[in-house]
Structure formats: C-alpha cells, structure tokens
Amino acid sequence: MLIEVATFRLAAGAGSEVFAAAERALATVVLYLQPGLVRRTAARNEDGEWLTLTMWQSREDAERAASATAGHPVRRAADALVDPASMVVRRYTTLD
C-alpha cells in the first residue's frame, strides 16, 4: 500500500471553506472513482497549513490516477486554490 502525504498552504485570497468544499468535490467526484484508492482525507492546523492523506493500493494506482485526473475541471478548481510554491508531496510504502 502507498500513502501519499501532501502539505501546502492556500493561495492568497482562497478561503478555507471554499477550499474544503473543493477538496470534498475532488475526493467524491474524481478520486474515489479511481481504481486503487483506499482512503483520502484532508486536515488543517491552526497555523493555516493543510494536509491531504491519500492511501492507494499501489504506487502504480497513484501514478495512474494522477495522470488520469490531471485535466479534470474539478481537480483544476481545487488546485487553483493552493499555493503551488508551498506544496510538498511525499510518498511512503507501508511495511505490511
């Protein structure tokens, strides 16, 4: 199993409620339709940093989904709310 952790800040002018709604739409309308997705959740800390945690059956599933959803309008809308300079994505393979 692959765990993908992304940390980021919102773009200037992007509100938390608007991003939360865009993230929910991205998860339900786009990502949960991708083969191999196990779970996705988002969180925010008190300093304004956000995190998404996405669990995939395999690295191949994660990479396939990234390619398949790159141009999706719901993904583009969510991505537009994120400060790209702040984005850090890390992938971890589980031990079990």
pLDDT tens digits for the chain (96 residues)? 999 999 999 999 999 999 999 999 999 999 999 999 999 999 999 999 999 999 999 999 999 999 999 999 999 999 999 999 999 999 999 998
Burial class (CB in 10 A: 0-12, 13-18, 19+), 88: exposed
Set out the domains of the chain in order of their start, with CATH numbers: 2-93 (3.30.70.100)
* CB 50 within 8 Å of CB 44: yes
pTM of the entire structure?
0.91
